[in-house]
Chain A
Amino acid sequence: MNEMTTIKTSPKDWETDQEVRWCPGCGDYAILKAVQRTMPELGVRPENTVFISGIGCSSRFPYYMETYGFHTIHGRAPAVATGVKLANPELDVWIITGDGDALSIGGNHTMHILRRNLDCQILLFNNEIYGLTKGQYSPTSRVGTRSPSTPFGSVDRPATPCSFALGSGARFVARGIDTHKSLPSVLKAAHAHKGASFVEIYQNCIVYNDDVFAPFTEKKAAPEGQIWVEHGSPVLFAGGTKGLALDHQNLRLHVVDVADGDWQAAGVIVHDETNRGLAQMLIDYAPGEGGPVVLGVIYNSPRPTFDSAVIEQNEAAAKGKKPDLQSLISKGQTWQVTKEPHAL
C-alpha cells in the first residue's frame, strides 16, 4: 500500500456495471462484497488501484471491481503485477488468485513474488478444487478427493498455502473465510503491511466441492473449529474456554482448557505476529478435519520491499549521469575517418 491522500468512497463506488458470472451461492460473492466494503475504509483512490488476476473462477474478480484491472493468463498474475508495480510504484496492486492458479501452474511466480517482497496484496481463494474446468482435484485437495480426474480418489498430498508462503519468505501471512465477518479486518491489515501480503481465504465452491470447509466454518462448529489470533492477545477459542499452549518438551502446540478465564494459569500463549517460528506452528496446527484452524494475521514482520529497493538502486546508479544517448554510443574505442572515400 502507499501513503496517499485518503479520499471518501462508498462500497457502491467500487462496483462495476458488469454482470457477475459466478455460480449462485459461490463463496466468491462474499469475498467480493468484503473487498468492496473494505476499500472505502482504506481511503484509497479507485484510479490508483489495480486488480490483477490469473485464470480460474476467482480470477474473474477484476471485472467486478470499479478500478483498473488486468485479467492475465494462468498462473502469471504475480509476474504481470511485478512489471506494473516496478513501472509505477504509486499504484496499489492487488493480486487475485486461486489454489490451482497460485500453487500449481503459477507456483514458481508465487514463490518469487513473496521472496522478493513486492509491495502488493495477494488474495488466494482456496476452494481445494478446479472450478472453472469443472471439478478436477487441485494441489490443495485432501488425499482421497474424488473428482473427474481422480475417480478413485486423489493419492497425492496437498500443499498448505500459508506454509508455502512462509517458506517462500513471505513477511505477511494471514487466513480468512469467505463469509466470515472478520475478513475485512484481515484485508485491512494486509493492505497496511508494506510488502507482499499473503492472504489465504477459504472459499466454498458450492458446485464442485461444497462444504469442504463446513466442519469448521458452520455456525455451530465455528467456536470449536476456529482460532482467531490477534497480536498481543492470548490464543483462545471456544468462547475463551480453550486455548493453545506450548508443549515445551516436544516444541508443539496443544489445546488446553481454560478455567474461569485464567488463561495464564492454563499456560496459553500470547500471539506475537512477528515471531516466525510461532507463525509456522500456528499455520501447521491442524489436528483434524473439524479443526481447530488458526485464522487472522498469523505473521506480520515487514522488511524493505522489492520495488523500493529497485527504485533506490535505479536512482543511485543514475545519479549525476546525463541520459545522453549520443555520447553513450560515441564512447568506447572509436576512430575518426576524415577522408572522402578514395576513388579507385
Chain B
Amino acid sequence: MASAARELTPREASAHPAPEAVVVRFAGDSGDGMQLTGGQFTLSTALAGNDLSTFPDFPAEIRAPQGTTFGVSAFQINFGSTAIETAGDEPDVLIAMNPAALKTNSPSLKAGGLIIADEGEFTARNLAKAGYPDGVNPLHDGSLAKWQVISFNISQLTMDAVKPFGLGNKEALRCKNMWTLGLALWMFDRPREPIVDWLKGKFSKAPVLADANIAALNAGHAYGETAEIGGPMKQHHIDPAPAEPGLYRTVTGAESISFGLVAGAQLAGLPMFFGGYPITPASAILHHLSRLKEFGVTTFQAEDEIAAIASAIGASYAGSLGVTSSSGPGVALKGEAMGLAIMTELPLVIVNSQRGGPSTGLPTKTEQSDLYQAVYGRNGDAPMPVIAARSPADAFECAIEACRIATQFMTPVMLLTDGYIANAAEPWKVPDMSGYEPFPVSFKTDLPAEGEVLKPYARDEKLARPWIKPGTPGLLHRIGGIEKQVDTGHIDYAPANHQRMTDIRKDKVDGIANHIPDQEIELGNATGKLVIVGWGSTFGPIHQAVRRARRKGLDVSHVHIRHIWPMPKNLGDLLRGFDKIIVPEMNTGQLKTVLRDQFLVDAKPLNKVSGQPFRIAEIEAAIEAALA
C-alpha cells in the first residue's frame, strides 16, 4: 500500500466504482518460470505508477513432477489506480500454461473473467496428468462457460519466434514465459524496456538466450497488437495510482526486514551478528543480510536452529546486536535459548516468518498461528516483547522498533511476520533515514565506587540492566541461566529473591507499554457498533472490507495491532468503546484469546487456516452479519 490509509470523501464514497484495479494470475508448471514472469510483470507495473500487491503461491516440492496439479506454481498481482492492499480476492484474468494450472486455478476466477490458455499444452498426456478423464478437454467441452476463454498455441508461437536462434526444443520452450509476459504487457499497456534490460543483464554470459527471450517477449507483445483475437482480448489502460511524491521502489518483506535490521543496528550504533539456519520461508533474510557486510553485519549459517540463536546470544553478550530468524518449527527449537536471553537480560531480535503448522505443516503457505508461541511459548515466567508487521513496507519500521526495544530494555524481542509478507512485493516509499531518531547504546565501563560492589543487575529507570562487554577492565562478572541475586547477579535460589527477580522481569517488559505509541484507529470512529481488530498480514483485506462496509454506511472501525506484547496502554479502553469486536485471524483465534484475557472483552473470532490469505469479501460478509 503506497498511499497512506485514509477515509473516503463523501464524493468518493458515492461515486460509481470505476474499473480501477485488475487482478491477474499467472499459473503454470513449477518449471514454467511463473514466479519470474510475475516478478517482472510486477516491476513494469510499479514503473507504470500503479499501486500493487502480489501473492506468490508456489508448491512445497522443489521439483514436483511436471504437469501435475501439485506442481502448479502461481503468481497473483492486484494493481490499480487506487490504494491496493491485498493481492485481490478473485482474479480477473487467469493465464494458464497447462491443464493442471487451469484445473487448480480456475475455481477462484471471477465469473465472466478471462482465461488465456496455452492450447499447445492441452495434450492427452498432460490432460491425464492433471487428472482430467480420458477424452475430456476443458477447452472444448463447455465446462468453462462462465468465463471467457481464449486459447492459442503459445508453445508453437514461441518456437516460431525463437527459431532464428537455433535453440534446442527444450531451451526454446523455456522462452514461453517471456512470450506470455509480452502478451500481458501489451494487454495492460506496460513498457517492455525494463524487461529487455533485465534479460540482457541476466543472460549477459549467453547473449543468444537473451536475444531469444527478447524475441519471444516481442512476439507475445506483437501478437496482442496484430492478431485479431477480438472479443474479450483487448488492451486496458490503468492510470497511475495517486501517491505521495517521493522515491519509490518495490520491496518484499524479507528485503525490508533485512534493511530494517541494518537500520536498527545503525541507529543503536552497533555491529550486527545474524545467526541463521535455512528454513522456508525465513531463509531469504539470511541471504539478504549475508551481502551487507559493509554495514558491519556478520552472518553465520549455524549447524541448527539452536546454534543459530545461541550464537546470536553469544554475540550480544560480546557487544553486537544479536539477531536470529526462523519459522515456527525452528522457533520452537529456539525456545530454551530465548529463556536464556530473558534470564541473562541480553538484547536479541528473533524474527519469525510464520507458516502453516503444526509440525512441518505447510512450509510455503501463510498462517498467523504462532502468536501463542511468541507470547507464551517458553518454560517458566518468561515475558518477551512481541511486534507484528502488517505488510512488506511496514516490516521495515517493525524491524527498527524491535532493535530499539531490544537494546533499550536489554531483552529479546520477537518480530512476527509471515510467508505472505516475506514473499509478497509492494511499492515502498523509500524513507528518509535522517528522519529516524537514533537510540545509541552505551556500554557500562565505569568502575563501582570505592567500597561498592559491581552490580551487573542494577536497574535504570526502565528497569533495564547495564550492558557490560567482556574485555572491559575491572568489571569482570559471570552470568548464566540460573536465577540471579538482585543487583549482584550472583547465583541465588532464595525464595524471596526469585519472587523479586520474576517480578522485575515482568515489570520491565510490562513497562515497555509506557514507551510505545498509543493504539490508533486505522479507519472509522473511536467508538461505535463494531470494531474489526487485526494484526499482521490480514491488514489489507480487513482495511478494504471495512472501507467498503463504511461506504455502504455501516458503523465499523478498523484497529490493527503492531505491539502484540505488551499491548498499547489505551487498547483496552478503546475496545470497550465498541458494542462488538471481531478478530479475523489466520489461526483458530489466538489474538482473540489474548484480548479476552487482557481486557475481559467479548472478542469474537473470524478464522481461516487454508494457507491462503483472507478475501475481502469474507471479512465484509462477517461485518454485515454482525451489524444485521
Contact = CB atoms under 8 A, between A and B. Distances in A.
Contacts of B12: 344
A240 to B, nearest CB: 45
A25 B188 CA distance: 83
A330 B430 contact: yes
B315 A344 contact: no
Interface residues of A, number: 64
Given A325-B266, A331-B249, 6 more contacts: A63-B480, A73-B340, A84-B470, A325-B433, A329-B433, A336-B247
B295 interface: yes
Given A48-B471, A336-B247, A83 B478 contact: no
Given A90-B471, A317-B294, A330-B247, A79 B262 contact: no
13 contacts: A47-B470, A47-B474, A50-B470, A68-B470, A68-B477, A86-B311, A87-B318, A90-B471, A329-B431, A330-B430, A333-B250, A334-B249, A341-B244
Contacts of A112: 302-303, 307
A135 to B, nearest CB: 21
Contacts of A250: none
Contacts of B245: 337-340
B262 A325 contact: yes
Which of A90, A91, A322, A334: most chain B CB closer than 10 A? A334
Contacts of A78: 307
Contact of B306 (A76, A84, A85): A76
Given A73-B340, A325-B259, A335-B47, A88 B470 contact: yes
Interface in A83-102: 83-88, 90-91
Given A73-B337, A73-B481, A86 B49 contact: no
Interface of B: 3, 9, 11-12, 15, 43, 46-47, 49, 194, 240, 242-250, 259, 262-263, 266, 271, 273, 275, 292-296, 298, 300, 302-304, 306-308, 310-320, 322, 336-337, 339-340, 344, 430-434, 469-482, 490-491
A133 interface: no
Contact of B315 (A62, A87, A333): A87
B188 to A, nearest CB: 16
A84 B243 CA distance: 46
A81 interface: yes
Contact of A47 (B292, B315, B473): B473
Which of A73, A329, A336 has the most chain B CB atoms inside 10 A of its CB? A329
Contacts of B337: 73, 76
Interface in A123-162: none
A286 interface: no
Given A83-B313, A321-B294, A344-B11, A73 B478 contact: no
B303 A70 contact: no
B558 to A, nearest CB: 21
A78 B303 CA distance: 11
A84 B318 contact: yes
Nearest to B396: A329
Nearest to B490: A18
Contacts of A87: 271, 273, 298, 314-320
Given A317-B294, A333-B47, A335-B47, A88 B319 contact: yes
A251 interface: no
Contacts of B49: 335, 337
A299 B46 CA distance: 61
Contacts of A325: 259, 262-263, 266, 295, 433
A140 B54 CA distance: 55
A326 interface: yes
Given A63-B491, A329-B430, A72 B481 contact: yes
Contacts of B243: 337, 341
Contact of A83 (B9, B11, B275, B472): B275
A80 B263 contact: no
A332 B249 contact: yes
Nearest to A310: B298
A69 B317 CA distance: 10
Nearest to A89: B318
Contact of A323 (B11, B240, B296, B312): B296
A336 B2 CA distance: 13
Contacts of A67: 476
**Smallest CB-CB A-B distances: 4 pairs:** A83-B314, A71-B480, A79-B310, A83-B311
A313 B291 CA distance: 11
Contacts of B482: 71
Contacts of B3: 341
B46 A72 contact: no
A65 B478 CA distance: 9
A91 B315 CA distance: 12
Contacts of A338: 245
B187 to A, nearest CB: 21
Best-surrounded residue of B307, B339, B432 (most CB of chain A within 10 A): B307
B317 A80 contact: yes
B480 to A, nearest CB: 3
A318 B272 CA distance: 14
Nearest to A83: B314
B479 A71 contact: yes
Of the candidates B242, B246, B293, the one having the most CB atoms from chain A within 10 angstroms of its own CB is B293
Contact of B317 (A76, A83, A336, A342): A83
Contacts of B303: 79, 108-109, 111-112
A66 interface: yes
A69 B298 contact: no
A200 B515 CA distance: 50
A318 B298 CA distance: 11
A91 B144 CA distance: 70
Nearest to A344: B12
B259 A83 contact: no
Given A317-B293, A330-B430, A334-B247, A68 B476 contact: yes
Contacts of B244: 337, 341
Contacts of B432: 326
Contacts of A265: none
A82 interface: yes
Nearest to A46: B476
Contacts of B481: 71-73
Contacts of A79: 302-303, 306-308, 310-311, 314
Contacts of B259: 325, 328-329
B478 A84 contact: no
Contacts of A329: 249, 259, 430-431, 433
A314 interface: yes
Contacts of A344: 9, 11-12, 15
A2 B433 CA distance: 39
A91 B470 contact: yes
B400 to A, nearest CB: 11
B471 A47 contact: yes
Contact of A333 (B249, B294, B298, B316): B249
Contacts of A84: 314-315, 317-318, 470
Contact of B273 (A45, A83, A335, A339): A83
Nearest to A21: B491
Contacts of B311: 79-80, 82-83, 86
B265 to A, nearest CB: 10
A339 B239 CA distance: 13
Contacts of A111: 303
A30 to B, nearest CB: 21
A88 B469 CA distance: 10
A61 to B, nearest CB: 10
Interface in A42-56: 45-48, 50, 52
Contacts of A339: 245
Contacts of B336: 73-74
A334 to B, nearest CB: 4
Contacts of A73: 310, 336-337, 339-340, 481
A272 B480 CA distance: 40
A111 B304 CA distance: 12
Given A72-B481, A76-B307, A325-B433, A318 B294 contact: yes
